[in-house]
Chain A
Amino acid sequence: MTRRNSYELSPGKGPSMWRTLEDKNTDPDELKRLAEEEKPGGFVTDLLSPKTLVSRRSFVQGSSIAALAAGLQGCLRRPENEILPYSKAPEYLVPGIASHFATVTARGRDALGVVVTSHDGRPTKVEGNEQHTRSFGGTDVRAQAYVWDLYDPDRSQSPAQRRGNALVNSTDAAFDEALKGLVKKHEGDEGAGLRFLAPISNSPTFRRMRGQVLAKFPKAKFYTYSSIDDDNVREGARIAFGTTVYPAYDYAQSMVTVSLGADFLGNEPGSTVAGRQFAARRTITNPNAAMARLYVAESNYTVTGGMADHRMRLPSRDIERFTRLLAAELGGRGVQGLASLSKSLDSTDREGIDTAFLRAVADELVANSGKSIVVAGSGQPPVVHALAFAMNQALGNANKTVRLSPVIDESDTPSREGIVALAAEQASLTTLFILGGNPVYDAPADVKFAELLGREGLTSVHLSSHRNETSERSSWHVPMAHELETWGDQQALDGAVSVQQPLIAPLYGGRSAVELLATIAGEKAANGHDIVKATHAEAMDKTTSALLLYGFNPQGLSEAQVWRAGLHTGVLFKPGVGQGGVQENAFAAALASAKGRSTKLGKGNFEVTFEPDPALFDGTHANNLWALELPSPMTKLVWDNAALLSPGTAKALGARNGQMLRLSKGEGRVEVPAWIVPGHADNSITLTLGWGRTAAGRYGNGKGFDVGAIRTSDGMSFTDGVAVEVLGEKYNLVQTQTHDRMEGRPIAIDATLDEYKAEPDFASYRSVDPVSTPPLWKQQDYSEGHKWGMVIDLNGCTGCNACVMACQAENNIPTVGKIEVERGREMHWLRIDRYFVGDDENDPEIAVQPVTCQQCEEAPCENVCPVNATVHSPEGLNDMAYNRCVGTRYCANNCPYKVRRFNYLDWHGHLDDKFGWYKDFPESRKLQFNPNVTVRMRGVMEKCTYCVQRIQAGKIAAKREGRFLKDGDIKSACQQACPTRAIAFGDLNDPKSTVAKWADVNRNYKLLAEIGTRPRTSFLARIRNPNPKLKGNG
């Protein structure tokens, strides 16, 4: 092919610059031929119409598409099956314009509907799906971290086979061959010795495939195991209802919520929707409005505890006593259904439990019958759950605030029993498929799963995204595709079924558990899409009212149309909630059988509670840089976990922050550094799971401490009888916030409801905005056009970190590593400040406050910048011109909010190891970058922009459509992610916008207003709603 004649300049003809095809040649056929040369297969014909031909732009467009296609043929990834864009979809893959696809991500047995942004075929950002009833548009931290996991450079890239003591790379073909052999082998013995171990699944197709496999191999068995399980909920429901059901709460209907160790705004499944609902009854704008009240009994300080109006700190095991006594109190008040139990309950030991507190809670619950919730934590024993069900039933909450999930999976084994039973089968096992998870790392210590895998004669196949601890001990490792790479379906706890759509072809050729099972079962449908679709074919055919079709009339739709609509909205089948009655007689036995109070806690006998890590969860995200560097909501620790204990316990032990503790129980012992958490229950230690991985990947290996050695099958959520020894050595734990007190300054302002009633404008009195003393110079007039502003409602903010992670994902914010965080160089544009409030360091309250650039109208940063790199936009944004910034850092010094972040080193590039960093920046991670946000180089200052790229996109969209922007068109990343809708962003000049309304709410105040910065971001002071009968406690 002769190359690019068209580029040659013809001397003396016309202008010598900006040549077009037309200059060279005006014959359309010749042009077509030239274009064909550029891109075999031809252009979109529009580009060749005479009208567009003449423009240089169209030529450059065309040739760059061609160049892209030629250059990127190997890496342009598109799913093979048709996937449907979300409702805002532009035409397919217009370069530079993002598409949005609805899909779903698993939360144990629950599911979270999400909408994923895709730039040119690369998923870059996850948002909540407003039409999914477990999200309503909000997300949690894990959903935001999710896209990083997809591009994790340490994901397994090929099957591997064990040879001797090492895993050796293999090929898909070799594995398929081996799989065939295994299937053939078990076809002979009907699956005797064939076992499957899978994490808790919420997938109808998984259930169907499981059925098919069992049909083919009747003697095979499926076991379920997840480190974070819901066994207690199931068992509690079995006691109460006689069947395995799951509760689905509606906090929006609850005026009084009592949490029995349930972190329902944090780690429990459904926390996203719980946050939405909970905030609905908390974010009042008028002192006389009804405000819900929250009581929490818990051991560790969780984000739910931080939102509590009254919090009782109790060791985890004492929550059962608390529950019994509460039920007894309710029974004593003649609440039907509990009266009969009250006698046996009342004999419970009351030590350490404030009777006045119990009575006040019971009074409130009775007064709010039918609009209250008693919710038990999934770590609590079944009897607590059973009693919680009973109390809800007795209080008339059933079917009002507490509904039962229609998800019933009787053939699923409980998690702990499952793994113990599997281990007990030892001798009869010949083939074991582990469909995800990492049992070698997280199985109970007494199961000794690694030994099980190492047994002679066992062929084990581990399907996993990473070559983790379990893969290293399996006979075969098979890469598992990410949720964003494969078809699947998921049913949420409220019954809504969503299809999991792939947005990208598997990066490393992995497969899903469903596909693997289909192969084993000999399913005809070759790919995930067909397998999933077949699961729902029958239901879709019926086009019953069970279909959730927003904006579609289900009547007369074909199966294909229903499928399309389901993909489009992200919900295929509508949620349906079941009902059930508590079987009262079942309780007596359960209560009697529950073990009584054991030995007193204290020296030599400590309680240990195991909690999923707020960011790493059970270790799933252990190699996720964003998660590793996400400050833990309460401790603000990054890059490590710690043994959390109360100041009293630390004093008794003589342990200081960072001092190593040796916790031992039975044979197991772990060494973890201590960290003192004011408000933690005494004599109780909380350990978070998911850390101390040895085969997580380059980032996660060796970070934190594995606490699995003292976690046994009889104490998966908490255990007592743990001996604690304080060791001499200290470990360096790093926080993003080292000072916990407000020092009497008006920062995160709060008041009780009574104070609010007495003085509705209290917040602006405490943080005075000197509006009556204008500056010496003429002020900018922002009354015309847009005036962007943000209001953050501290009543809604739980401090869950979803916004922090969303900001990181949206704005290409780098992570910096533990050593650099210790130097105070973390880069989060949005941080959540957490203060302890109150005089009692053993039992303080919490105040959280998200702080990001306040977009001051009189910005102190702007007039000190010597090079005009940070300047004001006409709409009032404090803009950063990165390529003008020389990095004097003067602006950051002069920022009273300290929200500016400086690229001290080249966080994205090569750095020396002595900076605690890694030599390369993996190619796969570059795929995650948001192309609309500059990736900043070293030496440049950066900060929150109010997501200016989204503002521009929204304005452009409105302009193209010839309409005015309306509230909600533009959402900042933090606002969109927030599960409690605590962040309002929009145009302050639009009186109908939420942000303008919130700006006028009486509890609005501006942070550090007295400096005269006139910030655009303001806060709504937090209102606490303590029970007036419980003075001094809350």
Chain B
Amino acid sequence: MSSYEAPIKELGETYLLPEGTTANDVTEAIAGVTENPAPRGWWLLFLLSLSILGVMGAALAYLFYQGVGVWGNNAPVYWAWDITNFVWWIGIGHAGTLISAILFLFRQKWRTSINRFAEAMTVFAVLCAGLFPAIHTGRPWFDYYLFPIPNQMDMWPNFKSPLMWDVFAVSTYLTISVIFWYVGLIPDFATLRDRSKNLVRKRTYGFFALGWRGAHRHWQVYERAYLIFAGISTPLVLSVHSVVSFDFATSVVPGWHTTIFPPYFVAGAVFSGFALVMTLMLICRTVFKLENIVTIKHLDLMNKFMLGTGLLVGYAYAMEFFIAWYSANPYEQWVFFHNRLGFGMLDENGNWGPLWWAYYAMVFCNVVVPQIFWFKRARTSVPIMFIASILINIGMWFERFVIIVTSTYRDFLPSSWGMFHPTGIDVLTYLGTFGLFFTLFLLFVRWIPMIAIAEVKGTLPGAHPDLHALGAHDEEPGAAAVAPVPAE
């Protein structure tokens, strides 16, 4: 992976941001979103999200009042949409850390336009994800049994249970993601503080800016801290979804009991995370007119990333089938060839597995759709990538549904085979998490710089120490002086 330090003109490369963009332009564009009155689009979206959040509240109240039976979960499908949604949201939460941490370590400067965004998304997605394990229990008021809290019963949780590992993995991930996000925000909070025109804003942003003055010493400490957190976050990107995949991989259920799951889940998570970042980015970019900061070039790179992870996921799908066939395990073969593929193994009544369509939906969205990104025209077309990113998100949801439901609904003993039908409450709970996510997200774009101001400035042509040697335009003498210190 070559670093994007500066474009190599000979290769036809250009700067990420259009030439002529000044540091002030960046500050104005990004900080302005938090300072100007919200556009009507924001209000519409916010009220919509808030209503959906309300729906979720109602669905949860009903769930707590009646019990998990209001969902479609049954025997043998004891987990269905609840855990599907959990894994899906957790997966989505992966892009943020990946973009912030791993791409940071690889000095991929193009990440700067999207990392804040992606990190926020991570935090909110993990919150949405964390909701499901908490509410899917039969007696949620005893959820605290899952935490190793010293108690009079002298009972510890079962540290052998992958669900227990989940608790640690997800809570660690959430903590680190929040801290990492916050550390990155400090210089930008300072910018907002400095631009504040009323006392409340000043005090509030001032509080979160932790007395940031943009001193060299601050920058030095900041950069070091950021690097350390990037270092801590990087293994988490791999570990969280690996641990989540252990929920399945360590079980005995055919279709779950698969050693390929950890890398497969991580690839899928990055894949879906990028897709959702893309979807949201395209919307915000249009609503807040940030086309100059999040450019087609950024999007093109992201699309390449999705193509790559999509291929990885496709490989994992193929490998599962190979192993099922190669293992000669009749139960596993049944799950893959009958439950998932549908044909290939008809049951004795000559029937396809009734949920075969979920598998095809997944393959179409996750393997077929990303292939369009082999073409540059598709990679640079906003409508195409918008549709593709949504399809990939749907496909990744189906991936989890396929793994969870189409493994359990027909497993070892045919006498216990069942079927799964979701209920309205299932749908409302899932939709409701979008309410939670978008409410938080809209509040974020409204009140917090949605793009890392300081970091974007670092990618401006003027920020480069060898500006002149690289042949940048001399007409912009101010540019080099501005970055990376915040304006004013």
Closest B residue to A636 using CB positions: B415
Q: CA of A508 to CA of B68 in the docked complex: distance in angstroms?
A: 38
Contact status A743-B79, CB under 8 Å: no
CA distance A903 to B72 in the complex (A): 13
Interface string of B325-338 (1 = CB under 8 A from A): 00000110010000
Taking the complex as formed, is B390 at the interface, i.e. its CB lies under 8 A from any CB of chain A?
Answer: no
Are A737 and B415 in contact, with the CB atoms below 8 A? yes
Q: A865-B158, A866-B167 are in contact. Are A912 and B66 (CB under 8 A)?
A: yes
A578 within 8 A of B: no
Query: For B247, what are the chain A residues with a Cβ–Cβ distance below 8 Å?
Result: 890
Task: Select from chain B the residue with minimum beta-carbon distance to A1008.
Answer: B412
Residues B161 and A824 in contact, CB atoms below 8 Å apart: no
A792 → chain B closest CB, angstroms: 15
Q: How far is the CA of A838 from the CA of B161 in the complex (A)?
A: 42
B158 touches A868 (CB 8 A): yes
A884–B151 CA distance with the chains assembled, in angstroms? 13
- Chain B, interface residues (CB within 8 Å), range: 35 or more
Would you call A939 and B414 a contact (CB within 8 A)? Answer: no
Q: Any chain B CB within 8 A of the CB of A664?
A: no
* Complex contact B138–A885 (CB within 8 A): yes
Is A886's CB under 8 angstroms from B413's CB?
no
Name the contact of B146 in the complex, choosing from A867, A900, A938 (C-beta under 8 A).
A867
Whose C-beta in chain A lies nearest to the C-beta of B347?
A743
Chain A CB count within 10 A is highest, among B66, B138, B157, B415, for B415
List CB contacts (< 8 Å) of B407-432 with chain A: 408, 410-419, 421
In angstroms, Cα B410 to Cα A738, docked, is: 11
Q: Which of A872-901 contact B (CB under 8 A)?
A: 884-890, 892-894, 896-898, 900-901
Q: Is the CB of A890 within 8 A of B163?
A: yes
A905 contacts chain B at the CB level, 8 A cutoff = yes
**Is A941 among interface residues, defined by CB-CB distance under 8 A?**
yes
Query: How far is the CB of B159 from the nearest CB of chain A, in Å?
Result: 9
Could you tell me if A886 and B145 are in contact, using CB atoms closer than 8 angstroms?
yes
> How far is B76's CA from A901's CA once the two chains are assembled, in angstroms?
9
The listed residue (A738, A744, A892, A897) touching B417 by CB distance below 8 A is A738
Give Cα distance in the complex from A835 to B348, angstroms: 12
B184 shortest CB reach to chain A, Å: 33
Answer whether residue A823 sits at the interface, using C-beta atoms and an 8 A cutoff.
Answer: yes
**CB-CB < 8 A to B410: which residues of A?**
739
Q: Give Cα A828 to B9, complex, Å.
A: 74
0 or 1 for each of B27-50: is its CB under 8 Å from A? (1 = yes): 000000000000000000000000
Contact call A898/B75, Cβ cutoff below 8 A: yes
Chain B 47-78 interface 0/1 with A at a Cβ cutoff of 8 Å (1 = within):
00000000000000000001111101111111
Q: Known interface pairs A743-B348, A897-B413, A915-B69. Does A884 touch B145 (Cβ–Cβ under 8 Å)?
A: yes
Residues B223-259 near A (CB distance < 8 A): 247, 250-253
B315 within 8 A of A: no
In the bound assembly, the distance between CA atoms of A854 and B472 in angstroms comes to 76
Asked if B284 is at the interface (CB within 8 A of a chain A CB), the reply is no
Q: Is A88 an interface residue (CB 8 A)?
A: no
The answer, yes or no, to whether B349 is at the interface (CB within 8 Å) is yes
B79 touches which of A893, A938, A1013 (Cβ 8 Å) = A893
- Partner pick for B78 among A889, A897, A1008, CB 8 A cutoff: A889
Decide if B377 is an interface residue (CB 8 Å cutoff). no
| B62 nearest CB neighbor, chain A only | A912
Minimal Cβ-Cβ distance residue in B for A747: B413
* A1013 to B143 Cα, complex, angstroms: 29
With a cutoff of 8 Å between Cβ atoms, the chain A residues found around residue B155 in the complex are 867-868, 884
Q: Let me know if B138 and A825 touch, CB within 8 A.
A: no
Is B415 a contact of A866 with CB atoms below 8 Å? no
| Residues of the B chain whose Cβ atoms lie less than 8 Å from the Cβ of A911 | 66
Asked if B376 is at the interface of the complex by the 8 Å CB criterion, the answer is no
Q: Which residue of A lies closest to B158 (CB)?
A: A868
Instruction: Tell me which of A741, A824, A938, A1008 has the highest count of chain B C-beta atoms within 10 A of its own C-beta.
Output: A824
When the two chains form their complex, are residues A939 and B161 in contact, meaning their CB atoms are under 8 A apart? no
Label chain B's interface by main secondary structure: loop
Let me know if B415 and A835 touch, CB within 8 A: yes
Inter-chain contact A743/B138, CB cutoff 8 Å: no
* Residue picked from B142, B162, B408, B414, most chain A C-beta under 10 Å: B414
**Bound complex: CA of A938 vs CA of B408, how far in Å?**
22
Q: Across the interface, which residues of A come within 8 angstroms of B340, CB to CB? A: none
The verdict on A860 contacting chain B, using a C-beta distance below 8 Å, is yes
User: Is B111 at the interface (CB under 8 A from chain A)?
Assistant: no
Contact of A939 among B67, B77, B349, B421 (CB under 8 A): B67
- Contacting pair B137 A888 (CB below 8 A): yes
Within 8 A of B (CB), among A822-845: 823-826, 831, 833-835
Specify which chain A residues have a CB less than 8 angstroms from the CB of B408 in the assembled complex: 893
Nearest CB in chain B: distance from A1005 CB, A:
14
B164 within 8 Å of A (CB atoms): yes
Q: How far is the CB of B330 from chain A (nearest CB, A)?
A: 7
Interface hub of A849, A866, A901 (most chain B Cβ within 10 A)? A866
Partner of B138, one of A741, A898, A903: A903
Complex formed: what's the CA distance from A868 to B155 in Å? 8
Q: In residues 897-917 of chain A, which contact B (Cβ within 8 Å)?
A: 897-898, 900-906, 911-912, 915
Q: Given the known A-B contacts A741-B347, A866-B167, are A902 and B139 also in contact in the complex, defined by CB atoms under 8 Å? A: no
B-chain residues with CB within 8 Å of residue A940 when the two chains form the complex: 138-139
Provided the pairs A825-B74, A863-B161 are in contact, do residues A938 and B67 lie with their beta carbons within 8 angstroms? Answer: yes
- Does more than half of chain A's interface fall in helix, strand or loop, or is it mixed? loop
**Closest chain A residue to B76 by CB distance?**
A898
Are A745's CB and B146's CB within 8 A? no
Task: Say whether B251 contacts A866, CB under 8 Å.
Answer: no
Decide if A424 is an interface residue (CB 8 Å cutoff).
Answer: no
Instruction: Tell me if B136 counts as interface (CB < 8 A to partner A).
Output: yes
Residue of B67, B157, B253, B331 near A893 (CB, 8 A) is B253
Name the contact of B158 in the complex, choosing from A866, A893, A898 (C-beta under 8 A): A866
Assess the A741–B67 pair: CB atoms within 8 A: no
Distance from B62 Cβ to chain A, minimum over Cβ atoms (Å): 10
The answer, yes or no, to whether B160 is at the interface (CB within 8 Å) is: yes
Complex: A902 Cα to B71 Cα, angstroms = 13
Give the chain A neighbours of B414 by CB distance below 8 A.
739-743, 745, 747, 835
Contact call A904/B330, Cβ cutoff below 8 A: no
The reply on B156 being an interface residue by CB < 8 A is yes
Indicate if the CB atoms of B411 and A743 lie closer than 8 Å.
no
CB of B75 within 8 A of CB of A868, answer no
Q: Is A83 an interface residue (CB 8 A)?
A: no
Q: Is B145 within 8 A of A896, CB to CB?
A: no
Residues from chain A with Cβ under 8 Å of B133 in the complex:
888
What CA separation (Å) do A907 and B100 show in the bound complex?
49
* Interface residue? A820 (CB, 8 A): yes
- Select which of A860, A896, A905 is within 8 A of B67 by beta carbon: A905
Cα distance, A29 to B417, chains bound together (Å): 70
A851 within 8 A of B: yes
- Decide: A820 and B69 in contact? CB cutoff 8 A: yes
Taking CB atoms, residues of chain B closer than 8 Å to A898 are 75-76, 411-413, 416
Chain B residues whose CB sits within 8 angstroms of the CB of A1011 once the complex forms: 252, 412
Q: Quick check: is A546 within 8 A (CB to CB) of the other chain?
A: no
Tell whether, in the assembled complex, residue A902 and residue B146 are in contact, meaning their CB atoms are under 8 Å apart.
Answer: no
Asked if A866 meets B139 with Cβ closer than 8 Å, knowing A742-B414, A833-B413, the reply is: no
Expressed in whole angstroms, the Cα–Cα distance for A888 and B419 within the complex equals: 20
A selection of 29 A-B contacts at a CB cut-off of 8 Å is: A738-B417, A738-B418, A741-B347, A741-B348, A742-B414, A743-B348, A747-B414, A823-B421, A824-B75, A824-B77, A833-B415, A849-B415, A864-B251, A866-B157, A866-B163, A867-B146, A867-B158, A886-B142, A887-B68, A890-B78, A890-B79, A890-B161, A890-B247, A893-B253, A896-B412, A898-B413, A902-B68, A902-B75, A939-B137
Top 8 A-B residue pairs of the complex, sorted by shortest distance between their CB atoms: A887-B138, A939-B138, A904-B69, A833-B415, A905-B69, A898-B416, A889-B78, A824-B74
Give A contacts to B, CB under 8 Å: 737-745, 747, 820, 823-826, 831, 833-835, 849, 851, 860, 863-868, 884-890, 892-894, 896-898, 900-906, 911-912, 915, 937-941, 1008, 1011, 1013
Q: Please give 7 more A-B residue pairs, beta carbons under 8 A apart, in addition to A743-B414, A745-B331, A892-B76.
A: A738-B419, A745-B413, A823-B421, A866-B163, A884-B155, A888-B133, A890-B163
